[in-house]
Amino acid sequence: MAMASMDPYRDFRTSMDEMVEAHDLKDWSALQELLQCYLRLNQKSTHSFIFEAFVDLIVHLASQGKIQRSSCSVAPPLAPLHPTPCFGHCP
């Protein structure tokens, strides 16, 4: 069931922050998988909010030294989306 939100960007960003903290996500592949989870589990109409929240999350984590800058400078290509659950921890 879809939930209506007054501020979808903030909701996605808060959720991503919680996922990073709860699962100690630090490396690029785990963060990339997190993004894929959000895209797979949410309607296409929300994807722009998801991308915006994810970019802000990456910038924040890099500025805090929580991920290596080299991991952010050149991102590997996205793996194809597949129906398997992302680490079994997606919101």
Tens digits of residue pLDDT in 48-74: 999 999 999 999 999 998 885 444 444
For the packed helices 8-23 and 47-63, what is the interaxial angle rounded to 10 degrees? 50
Structure tokens at 59: 């910038």
What sign does the dihedral 13-50-64-32 (CA atoms) show? positive
What pLDDT, in 10s, does the model give residues 2-32?
568 999 999 999 999 999 999 999 998 899 9
